[in-house]
Amino acid sequence: MRRFTFPASSVIFRRLRDFLDLRPRLRKMLRIAFYAVYFCFGVWCSGILVYGTRNLPEALSGVLAAGLFLTVLLSVIFRKRFVPFLPTILLILFLIFIPWSLRRPSNDRDWQPSFSRNPYAVIDGDKVTVFHVRNFRYRTTDQFDVRYETRTYRLSRLRGLDFALSHWDGISVIGHTMLSFDFGEDGRLALSVETRLAKNVEQGTFQGIFKQYEVLWILADERDLFGLRTNYRKEELYVYPLNVEPEAVRTMFLGTIEKINRLKETPEFYNTLTENCTTSLISLIRLVAPKARMILLNGNLDFRAWRHGVFKFSEGVEFDTYQDACHINRYVEELSDLKDYSSVFRRGIRTSLDASR
């Protein structure tokens, strides 16, 4: 059987080899570097086949990825035998990588109702009009009344900010982070950065690394974002009032408005590592605290914030006590009507914190 090679590539490899023959140490270092990059590139392309394809059947993509990974692995272990095949393998890798790298995010898909609308806002002096504020009415996690609203807020009434952290399935090392802006008599506006899921698509961790989801910054009523998690999904939700100056809160809110308006015109991909619920919020925090660090495992983010004195009413209170007081499930789990949801759990937090002093 005749071996398939690329003449031009063979000439290049031969001339490069002749040049490096005079420099054995450099040749060895470059060979190690090449195969390290080559192996990582092969692993990434195998991941694209498994998690980054939308049209291939799952079983077929798995078989192709396994075959590709095995080929790359064997070509590293038995590199001398596979040198003639390297150009062919590299061509296959680039044929997988280039179309994936050129994939662009879109706002025009058949979205699930919870992610069907991009929020956006118009600022007119002190008045901010926010469109597509989500305020669903849930009967179960899957049965709900779809409600998007237009709300108006006054920037001069923006007076506070809360941080929320949700855990599920007993997992404590990671969580979902949210913010809630307090506009006083105008009410509260909650923010959650989430994967934007199309219909018949389920969320997955690794898929989020390979451009499978767009990102959506959801602006919603607390009864929607928080109530869904405490009363229907039965997640453990902690809400912490932040000790932040009003001017800093204003800066973060305006940063939020800028971001949602940009996403409406220019969509972006969600990324499990770099553009997720926490890294996105830290990008807001950096508007007022440039040295804020990115965090991958965010499950103890509340402890870190408490240790740095970021939470209100935490003076002289141990973290475990403070965390327990801000665990809002026990204040709202018996509510049959979520009309007074926000005032009920905040009253519970203050009562518990006062009792702990």
Q: From first to last of the 357 residues of the chain, give the pLDDT tens digit.
A: 455 555 555 666 666 666 656 567 777 888 899 999 999 999 999 999 999 887 788 889 999 999 999 999 999 999 999 999 999 999 999 999 999 999 999 999 999 999 999 999 999 999 999 999 999 999 999 999 999 999 999 999 999 999 999 999 888 888 999 999 999 999 999 999 999 999 999 888 899 999 999 999 999 999 999 999 999 999 999 999 999 999 999 999 999 999 999 999 999 999 988 888 888 888 877 776 666 676 767 888 889 888 888 898 888 889 999 999 999 999 999 888 888 999 999 999 999 988 877
Q: How far apart are CA 208 and CA 280, in angstroms?
A: 14
Strand partners, 178: 164, 192
Q: How far apart are CA 153 and CA 131, in angstroms?
A: 11
Instruction: Please give the C-alpha separations between residue 296 and each of 32, 175, 194, 256, 307, in angstroms, as whole numbers.
Output: 30, 10, 15, 21, 18
Q: What pLDDT sits at residue 7?
A: 56
**E strands of 94-213, at which residues?**
120-124, 127-134, 137-138, 144-145, 148-154, 160-167, 176-182, 188-196
Strand partners, 240: 163
Count of other CB atoms within 10 angstroms of residue 88: 16
Cβ proximity of 155 and 182 under 8 Å: no
Q: What pLDDT sits at residue 165?
A: 95
Give the model confidence (pLDDT) of 21-46 as tens digits: 656 777 788 889 999 999 999 999 99
Instruction: Please give the C-alpha separations between residue 98 and each of 3, 191, 266, in angstroms, as whole numbers.
Output: 26, 35, 22
Q: Give me 66's structure tokens.
A: 């396994």
Q: What pLDDT sits at residue 22?
A: 55
Q: How far apart are CA 30 and CA 34, in angstroms?
A: 6
Nearest to 214 by CA among 117, 299, 296, 281: 117
DSSP 112-143: -GGGS---EEEEETTEEEEEEEE--EESSSS-
Cβ proximity of 329 and 323 under 8 Å: no
Nearest to 257 by CA among 133, 108, 351: 133
- What's the whole-model pTM score? 0.87
Nearest to 176 by CA among 151, 209, 203, 136: 203
Q: What pLDDT sits at residue 1?
A: 46
